[in-house]
Amino acid sequence: MGALIIDASVQEKILLMLSKDSTINNLVDMFKERQEEYKRQIDNLKSKLSKQPSIEWISVSNVAKAKCLTSDAVRKQLQNGEFEEGVDFKYNGSRILINQGAVEQIQRKRRSSNG
């Protein structure tokens, strides 16, 4: 039998296909390596976060933003007698800090209508 003769243009197409396959395989390998590195970084961050102490005291301004209230409205609720100083809130200099357990009790008050 004679040798198989392949046209030059067909050879070029085959080489191009093989190089594309090689490039794709290289990209897949690179993404797998990066994925593994990202997983390691995420696990590392989770580990660090789990060692962080939980936040117990939150500033009035942050609570106000979360509840869509003004800081003054939050302060008034804290001082109306339903919250206990030292347990539900505390003073840190001139700042008021709210215990995270008391945050849910702070409500957006509806204004009553007369009439």
Contact between 88 and 99 (Cβ < 8 Å): yes
58 contacts: CB under 8 Å, gap ≥ 6: 97, 98, 99, 100, 103
SS3 of 108, please? Answer: coil
Confidence class for position 47, pLDDT limits 50, 70, 90:
confident
Could you read off the pLDDT of 54-111 as tens digits, one per residue? 778 999 999 999 999 999 999 999 988 789 999 999 999 989 999 988 998 888 665 5
Tokens of 68: 């869509």
Could you read off the pLDDT of 2-16 as tens digits, one per residue? 666 767 777 777 777
Residues above pLDDT 90, as percent of the chain: 35
| pTM tops 0.95 | no
